[in-house]
Structure 1
Amino acid sequence: MESGLSSLLSVSIDFETSHLFFPRIVHWLLACLFLLVLVFKIMPFLAAVRRGERTLPIIGETMDGLRFFGTLALIVAYFYLMAAVGNLFPYTGYGFLFVSMAFVFLMSLLFMHERARKNLVIAVINAIVAPSLAWFVLAKLFNITLP
């Protein structure tokens, strides 16, 4: 009787594959959610396009080349400069902090429709506060090493 009870209360863990348990669950949940979105949103939309009731949002639309290519250039520069500036101040997170401030400000300027004084002040405050808050939480509170 005791051997049966001890086998119910014992747990054996395969440490070589145990770290894959939750990622597998998340992958299957994401796959199921994707299928639900596909069935309930995308298929009816494509059927309406086929009937001529709706149009595809990409075809026939004008593209804002300055913002599109400007965003791509800023993203590439952001990652390159974050590593370069981060090497000047190793293990402090200043590369993340300084480059993120410039990145947020330049992205705000790129997508700002009216460059009024009020909008520029808001963009500057946002460019200073948001990365500083993220840097403080990640680097100082959680001790996460930033570039």
Structure 2
Amino acid sequence: MESQWLSLFDVTIDFDQSHLFFPRIVTWILLILLAAILLTRYRLLVPGLKHAGRVLAGREGDFDRKRFFGTLALTTVYFYMMGVLSDVFPNTGYSFLICSIVFVFLLSLLYVGQLSRRLVVIIVLNALIAPAIAWYVLAQLFRITLP
């Protein structure tokens, strides 16, 4: 009888799924908040959404398609490659570091106006330093598992 009571206090962790616990909670909270916003502010949002649709379709306004779709493509490739590289470097955070360096570099090149030698040096330094600091703080100091 005593062993049944003690079994209530045993904790087992499924490490294959444990990292998904908080993202699922945050996702559901964000979806509930989105639904609340859409229900309460529907009349205010519709004109803006119609305007955005017309701009995306190219029927009105000045729209930088190269930067918009380039950002979407780079972000998609960033997350995909992080998953691919996490199989090569499991639980080290190196895939996060490598992909973030490349992502920051290419995104900066996409958004810079006129390239000069000085700007390229700044972009390269930013692409190397910012992800390295983020990786060091998250993976090394806080011991957060990164892909």
Regarding TM over 0.5, the answer is yes
Q: Which residue is equivalent to 1:106?
A: 106
How far apart, in 2, do the equivalents of 1:138 and 1:87 lie? 20
What are the ranges of 5 or more consecutive residues in structure 1 without an aligned counterpart? 1-22, 47-55
Is 1:146 the equivalent of 2:113?
no
Residue 115 (structure 2) aligns with: 115
Q: Deviations over 1:57-83 (max 9, x none)?
A: 858322111111111110000000011
Q: Deviations over 1:80-114 (max 9, x none)?
A: 00111111011110000000000000000000101
Q: How many pairs were matched up?
A: 116
Aligned to 1:72: 72
Q: Give the AA of the match of 1:89.
A: F
TM (normalized to structure 2)? 0.62
Select the structure of larger CA radius of gyration.
1
Give, in whole Å, the separation in 2 of the partners of 1:82 and 1:133.
18
Alignment of 1:23-62 (within 5 A): 60-62=60-62
Query: What is the alpha-carbon distance in structure 2 between the residues aligned to residue 112 and residue 142 of structure 1?
Result: 33
Determine the structure 2 residue equivalent to 1:87: 87
- Percentage of identical aligned residues: 47
Alignment RMSD, CA only?
Answer: 3.4
The alignment's TM-score, normalised by the length of structure 1, stands at 0.62
